[in-house]
Amino acid sequence: MTRTLEPEWLDSLPAADPRARRSRRDLRRVNALMSNAGIVARELRRDAPGLAALAEIGAGDGEFALRLARALPVPPRGASLVLLDQQSIVEPATLEALALRGWSGRPVQDDVFAWLSGAGAGGQPLPAPLR
């Protein structure tokens, strides 16, 4: 079987499109029902205590990252969280809420492969580990 990468339908819609808003709402519900933030937080606490640099790929509006930050202990000073997505839709209030939990949130609008190679939009670098 050959694997084929295709853009997500949601990435092709304008952020304000009602279908995009409903889709993001549905994703928040699914993540909440499945307790995904709690599961990821538990694994990070176990395998990466003191984590100070994190990137969420396909971060969308940043709500999952915010739930995760609330489920994690307060990070070390200077902790950074990159919110990578094809669209720039992270609200300032989400970044402020992350900051209240000790994370410096940085939205990055880019393709994941371009970003990982360092050739992405604006040359946004990977978060540097602070351990």
Summarize pLDDT for 26-61 with one digit per residue, the tens: 989 998 999 999 999 999 999 988 888 999 999 999
Question: For the whole model, what pTM was predicted?
Answer: 0.81
Q: In terms of C-beta density within 10 A (0-12 exposed, 13-18 middle, 19 or more buried), how is residue 95 classed? A: buried
Lowest mean pLDDT among 2-16, 20-34, 117-131: 117-131
Residue 16 structure tokens: 């304000």
Domains in the chain: ranges and CATH: 15-123 (3.40.50)
